[in-house]
């Protein structure tokens, strides 16, 4: 149909291959670049979902054909199985004008170290990556971030997000996430992190953040910071959050969001989330946040959003919830007075 109607090639902007119920062999994708190179002139996005990568199924001109897709700027890889990270980066770097990359639930044999020759070849194609989503953790996250750093792909990032897997504070150094902040530096405008800090006491958590200080100091033009803490347990420490905010040098910050998902998820039945918040986000904690964000460098701040989800005896909009809301807001008087404070309750 595409070959019969040349105009259709100018209309198609997205292309997706997705395994139905199980992982699809990558051979189903092998014919795509060979058949459609230079024919999909307005193709912007490619999604590969639930695919098992098998390099031997590809024609020798496969990656050369992919390089002809100069209009592709977005690549989404979800639940893709690679036999090695070398295969993954060959796919990513085949697109010469890639701007946004999403890597979620990928697998490969950990331990790949790119050679100097490979890094040199990839640099000329990957200096304009603007957005990256990290959806893997541990050694796999380190593989990806090491490549982004060493190949200079991280240098032009404007948006960096983590999703699907929580990044523990202890992994900041092991995965080289903090170094990625440093390399992106003044280019990074939006940072969204799904984090976990369980089983860390206050001193240990703050020490980790303090060691990230030199990296955070490079984020001079950050505009949006979003931190999501999911499945929060009773032994979690929050003291590192005002410490992190205090280390940010950006004078361009406009929106900060703190989302407490499933607050005290593993607490005994009957525990009220509103009581837990007042205890954990204490008056002293709120005073630190209020003081840091009232400093002159945060004068452009338009909103601090604190979102709480969890079980409560009170319903949203009830008198008890309203009283709680007023009491908590009073703990951050300077931000409340500026009109930038928003506290959102999602009670179940």
Q: How far is CA 67 from CA 32, 84, 88, 230, 277, in A?
A: 12, 21, 15, 39, 52
One domain for residues 136 and 34: yes
pLDDT tens digits for 82-107? 888 888 888 888 898 999 999 999 98
Comparing CA positions, the residue from 186, 130, 176 lying closest to residue 150 is 176
Is the domain of 180 the same as that of 283? Answer: yes
Are 87 and 108 spatial neighbours (Cβ–Cβ below 8 Å)?
yes
Range of 70-74, 229-233, 313-317 with top mean pLDDT: 70-74
Instruction: Determine contact, residues 306/261, Cβ cutoff 8 Å.
Output: no
Per-residue pLDDT tens over the stretch 179-198: 999 999 999 999 999 887 77
**End-to-end CA, the chain:** 51
pLDDT on residue 348: 74
Query: Are 224 and 279 part of one and the same domain?
Result: yes
Q: Between 139 and 110, name the one with better pLDDT.
A: 139
Spatial neighbors of 207 by CB under 8 A, at least 6 apart, are none
pLDDT of residue 32: 81
- Note down the domain range covering 225: 171-348
Same domain, 102 and 239: no
Count of structural domains within the chain: 2
Is the predicted pLDDT of residue 156 greater than 90, yes or no? yes
Note the pLDDT tens digit of each residue in 258-287. Answer: 988 666 555 566 678 888 888 888 999 999
Domain CATH number, residue 119: 3.80.10
Q: What percent of the chain has pLDDT over 90?
A: 43
Domain's final residue, options 137, 165, 193:
165
Residues 210 and 340 in one domain: yes
**150 and 253 within one domain:** no
Dump pLDDT digits (tens) for 157-182.
Answer: 999 999 877 788 888 888 899 999 99
| Domain edge (last residue) among 165, 197, 226 | 165
The neighbour count for residue 179, using CB atoms within 10 Å, is 19
User: 254 pLDDT band (50/70/90 cuts)?
Assistant: very high
Q: How far is CA 174 from the centre of its chain?
A: 17
Cα dihedral 326, 332, 336, 341 sign: negative
Q: Do residue 189 and residue 132 come from a single domain?
A: no
Measured between alpha carbons, how far is 181 from 191 in angstroms, rounded to an integer?
9
pTM of the full structure = 0.89
Asked whether the predicted pLDDT for residue 123 surpasses 90, the reply is no
Do both 219 and 238 map to the same domain? yes
pLDDT at 328 over 60: yes
157 alpha carbon, distance to own chain's centre: 12
Q: What is the CA radius of gyration of the chain?
A: 23
Task: Kindly write down the DSSP assignment for every residue of 146-207, as one continuous string.
Answer: HHHHHTTGGGG-SEEEE-SSPEETTHHHHTTHHHHHHHHGGG--EEEEEEE-TT--HHHHHH
Same domain, 132 and 187: no
Cα angle value 194/341/330 (rounded, 5°): 115
Q: Which of 165, 197, 217 is the last residue in one of the domains?
A: 165
| pLDDT score, position 268 | 62
pLDDT in tens, 14-38: 988 887 656 666 666 777 888 888 8
Positive or negative CA dihedral for 142, 220, 194, 240? positive
Instruction: Report the pLDDT value the prediction gives residue 183, as an integer from 0 to 100.
Output: 95
Same domain, 116 and 213: no
Q: What is the pLDDT of residue 204?
A: 87
Cβ neighbours for 338, distance < 8 A, ≥ 6 positions apart: 294, 301
344 and 266 in a single domain? The answer is yes
> Residue 126: pLDDT above 60?
no
Q: In terms of domains, do 117 and 243 share one?
A: no
- Give the pLDDT score at 239: 86
Cβ atoms within 10 A of the Cβ of 170, count? Answer: 15
């Amino acid at each position: 149909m595409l070959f019969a109607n040349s105009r259709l090639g100018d209309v198609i902007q997205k292309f997706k291959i997705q395994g139905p119920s199980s992982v699809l062999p990558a051979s189903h994708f092998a014919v795509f670049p060979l058949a459609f190179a230079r024919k999909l002139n307005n193709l912007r996005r490619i999604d590969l979902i639930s695919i098992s990568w098998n390099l031997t199924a590809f024609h020798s001109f496969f990656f050369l054909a992919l390089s002809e897709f100069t209009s592709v700027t977005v690549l989404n890889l979800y639940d893709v199985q690679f036999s090695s990270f070398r295969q993954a980066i060959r796919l990513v770097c085949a697109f010469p004008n890639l701007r946004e990359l999403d890597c979620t639930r990928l697998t490969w044999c950990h331990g790949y170290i790119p050679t100097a020759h490979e890094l040199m070849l990839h640099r000329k194609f990957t200096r304009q990556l603007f957005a990256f989503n990290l959806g893997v953790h541990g050694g796999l996250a380190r593989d990806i971030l090491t490549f982004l750093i060493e190949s200079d792909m991280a240098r032009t990032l404007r948006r960096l997000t983590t999703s699907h897997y929580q990044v523990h504070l202890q992994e900041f150094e092991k995965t080289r996430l903090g170094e990625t902040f440093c390399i992106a530096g003044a280019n990074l405008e939006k940072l969204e992190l799904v984090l976990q800090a369980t089983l860390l006491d206050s001193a240990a958590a703050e020490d980790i953040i303090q060691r990230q200080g030199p990296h955070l100091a490079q984020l001079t033009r950050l505009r949006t910071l979003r931190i999501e803490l999911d499945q929060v347990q009773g032994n979690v420490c929050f003291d590192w959050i005002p410490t992190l905010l205090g280390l940010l040098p950006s004078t361009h910050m406009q929106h900060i969001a703190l989302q407490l998902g499933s607050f005290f998820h593993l607490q005994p039945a009957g525990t009220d989330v509103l009581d837990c918040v007042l205890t954990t986000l204490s008056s002293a904690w709120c005073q630190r946040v209020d003081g840091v964000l009232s400093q002159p460098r945060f004068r452009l701040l338009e909103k601090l959003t604190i979102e709480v989800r969890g079980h409560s005896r009170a319903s949203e909009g009830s008198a008890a919830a309203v009283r709680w809301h007023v009491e908590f807001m009073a703990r951050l008087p300077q931000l409340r007075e500026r009109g930038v404070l928003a506290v959102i309750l999602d009670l179940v």
